[in-house]
Amino acid sequence: MNKKYDAIIIGAGVIGCPIAYELSKMGYKTLNVDKLPDAGEGSTAGSCAIVRAHYSTADGVAMAYEGFKYWLDWENYLDNVKDEKGLARYMNTGSFLLKSQGHDWKKVKKNYDEVGVQYEELDNDKIKEMVPVADLHEYWPVRRPEDPKFYDEPTKEIEGAIFCPEGGYVNDPALSAHNIMRAAEAKGAEFMFNAEVVDIRSDNGKVAGITLKDGTQIDAGIVVNVGGPHSFKINKMADGVWEGCNIKTKSLRHEVMYCPSPDGYDYLNDGYHMSDGDIGCYVRPEVGNTFLIGSEDPDCDPQQWVDPDDFYAGKGGNGKDNVLTDAQWKAQCYRLGKRIPSLQVPNQPKGVVDLYDCSDDWIPVYDKSDLPGFYMAIGTSGNQYKNAPVVGRMMAELIDACEKGLDHDKEPLQYKFKYTDRSTDVGFFSRKREINYNSSFSVNG
């Protein structure tokens, strides 16, 4: 006799855990399966865990702004569960969005106004007061150090910045997933690790359960794909699912650099999250008084699509495997070095290489599938960590509504936010949508 659950959630990362948590609160008996040894050890652990509200669509902004409230109220969100590893902490640094040609900041401003996000517009003098180490010249367009024009002298300054007092990062993303797991377990959820899914079974045109690598079969009438960079492989295991998606996902390799802060600048305590489209970078502080430097994927940077299993196994060779490249180290650090001229760049690359589960338009797919009972929360494209608690609740409501008969494709669920006075059309995240050209097609979302 196979073990049976109401719902099996594939993946115990920062999206998979809140889905389990919310479904459990609704009375579902859930099981998360994850091929790694613990919650949040996959791509969640590589996340920069930045919490900020600037998205290219009003819905995107609204969801991110809603997400804040969860991070700010973390203990209560977790219903005061005890985690033996301690709790992750949200560090509210405040967030700069530099006005540059790299960001449609005017659209962001409009979205902020619509949703009611608090912000200030700052001139360059004010920015320099707050960030004394900054050089505010315009360095657009973004180039690579191999390009001789990378070294051109700038001629003018940027126009200022939009500053949100609400914004920052979570200090330990893997721990945050672990916290949510403990909260879910307190509501009856179960978790199984070192368990790799190799097949998704269906019966009579409905999902019936999963099969693990060791042959174990587990049954459930609901299966949710939250497999991160492995999401496309999982979708292909289920009958008709992959084919029924117009928006596909694949894994994109990303490097994030860790560079020490200049002498005399306490970035860890005095610094801000900064989104700098002018140099194609975003930064936030990290322990060790370090700048964590992420890339906004400027056009001049080659995109590396990889097989996630090969990648995590360290196969594929230079530039395909999970080792930092010197070329990208220099690209990201020198770009930041333009904005912060006193930044000293070590010779040895240091940082994290991981994968985004990227959708065709960099907007997630939060949807059911063509196989009844099979759902997906995928295509997070490097920009959904901050929304995790919201997505957990939204997916739980979507699953519940669909299981109770809602024809979500015809009449998309309208999800009402818990904190923000607004609803969002979940159809926005449909697997069947046409590519959304309003998207920024980047990690900015």
Partner 1 sequence: MMKNIGLIIELNNGKIKETNFGMITLARAENTELFAIVIDADTGVLKEDLESFGITNIIDVMLPEGQQNNPVICAKAIITAIKVFNISLVCGLSTAKGKDLLPRIAAFMEAPLIMDCHAIDPEQNLVKTSQYSGKTIATIKLTGEVLILGVRPNAIAPLKAHTSARIVPVELDEKNLVSKGFKVIKTSETDESKNINLADADVIISGGRGMKNADNFDILSKCAEKLTAAVGASRVAVDAGWVPYSMQVGQTGEKVSPLVYIACGISGSMQHFAGMKTSGMIIAINTDATAAIMSNCDYYVKADALEIIPELTKLL
Partner 2 sequence: MQLYVCIKHVPDSAAHISIVDKTHIDENLTFLLNPYDEHAITEAVRIKESLPGVEIIAVCLGKNDADKTLRSALAMGVDRGILITSDKRHDSIETAQALKSAIEQDGTPDLIFTGKESIDAEGMQTMFRIGALFDFPVATNVVRVDIEADRAVVDSALSGGIVNTYELSLPCVLGAGRGLNTPRYPTFPDVVKSKKKPIKKIMFKELNINVSLAGMNIVELEPLLQSREPKEITGDAGEIAETIIRILKDGAKVI
How far is the C-alpha of 236 from the C-alpha of 200, rounded, in Å? 9
**Residue 321 interacting with partner 1 (CB under 8 A):** no
Task: List the one residue out of 133, 192, 195, 439 whose CA is nearest residue 297.
Answer: 439
Q: Work out whether 344 is an interface residue with partner 2 (CB under 8 A).
A: yes
Q: Which of residues 133-192 bind partner 1 (CB under 8 A)?
A: 171-172, 174
Binding partner of residue 346 among partner 2, partner 1, none, CB cut-off 5 to 8 Å per kind:
partner 2
Nearer to partner 1, 354 or 360 (CB): 354
Q: Which residues of 327-347 are buried (b: 16+ CB within 10 A; e: fewer)?
A: bbbbbbbbbbbbbbeebeeee
Residue 73 to residue 93: CA distance in whole angstroms: 16
DSSP 42: S
Quote the least distance from Cβ 37 to partner 1, whole Å: 5
How many CA atoms does the CB half-sphere of 116 hold within 13 Å? Answer: 5
Q: Residue 338 touches which of partner 2, partner 1, none (CB < 5 to 8 A by kind)?
A: partner 2
Contacts (CB under 8 A) with partner 2, residues 386-405: none
Contacts of 87 (CB under 8 A, 6+ apart): 74, 75, 78, 175, 179
The backbone torsions φ and ψ at residue 252, rounded to the nearest 5 degrees and listed phi first, read: -115, 130
**Counting contacts by CB under 8 A, is residue 317 touching partner 2?**
yes
Among 130, 345, 352, 435, binds partner 2 (CB under 8 A): 345
Options 348, 404, 410, 437; binder of partner 2; rule CB under 8 A: 348
Work out whether 151 is an interface residue with partner 2 (CB under 8 A): yes
Question: Which residues ranging from 238 to 267 are in contact with partner 1 (CB under 8 A)?
Answer: 258
Nearest to 105 by CA among 165, 182, 27, 164: 164
Q: Which of 188, 183, 198, 233 is nearest to 376 (CA)?
A: 233
> Minimum distance between the CB of residue 123 and partner 2, rounded to whole angstroms?
25
The answer to the question of residue 286 lying near partner 1 (CB under 8 A) is: yes
Task: Rank residues 141 and 346 by Cβ distance to partner 2 and give the closer one.
Answer: 346
Pick between residue 204 and residue 348 the one whose CB is nearest to partner 2: 348
**Cβ 48 to partner 1, closest distance in Å?**
12
**Which is closer to partner 1, CB of 140 or CB of 193?**
193
Interface with partner 1 (CB under 8 A), residue from 211, 217, 289, 304: 289
| C-alpha to C-alpha distance for 55 and 50, rounded to whole angstroms | 13
User: Are the C-beta atoms of 168 and 284 separated by less than 8 Å?
Assistant: yes
Instruction: Look at residue 423 and give the partner it binds from partner 1, partner 2, none, a contact being a CB closer than 5 to 8 Å depending on partner kind.
Output: none
Q: What are the strands, taking DSSP E only, across 261-388?
A: 273-276, 281-286, 290-295, 351-359, 365-368, 374-378
Beta carbon of residue 281, minimum distance to partner 1 (angstroms, whole number)? 18
Peptide bond into 141 cis (omega under 30): yes
Binding of partner 2 by 165 (CB under 8 A): no
DSSP 305: B
- The region of 20-28, 32-40, 115-123, 372-380 touching partner 1 under the rule CB under 8 A is 32-40
In the complex with partner 1, the residue whose CB is nearer, 286 or 361, is 286
For 124, the enclosing helix (H) or strand (E) is: helix 124-130
314 binds, among partner 2, partner 1, none (CB under 5 to 8 A by kind): partner 2
Rounded Cα–Cα distance for residues 374 and 159 (Å): 48
Residue with tokens 């519940």: 400
CA dist 411 and 270 (Å) reads 48
Q: Which of the choices partner 1, partner 2, none does residue 313 contact, using the CB cut-off of 5 to 8 A by kind?
A: none
Q: How far is the CB of 160 from partner 2 (least distance, A)?
A: 23
Amino acid, single-letter form, for residue 217: Q
Per partner kind, with CB cut-offs from 5 to 8 A, the member of partner 1, partner 2, none near residue 351 is partner 1
The one of partner 1, partner 2, none whose footprint includes residue 151, by CB under 5 to 8 A per kind, is: partner 2
* Count of C-beta atoms within a 10 Å radius of residue 436: 17
Under the criterion CB under 8 A, does residue 343 sit at the interface with partner 2? yes
Question: Could you tell me which residues come within 8 angstroms of residue 204 by beta carbon, excluding any fewer than 6 positions away?
Answer: none
Give the interface with partner 1 as residue ranges (CB under 8 A). Answer: 36-38, 41, 45, 85-86, 171-172, 174, 258, 286-290, 350-352
Give the interface with partner 2 as residue ranges (CB under 8 A). Answer: 151, 262, 314, 317-318, 321, 323-326, 334, 337-338, 341-349
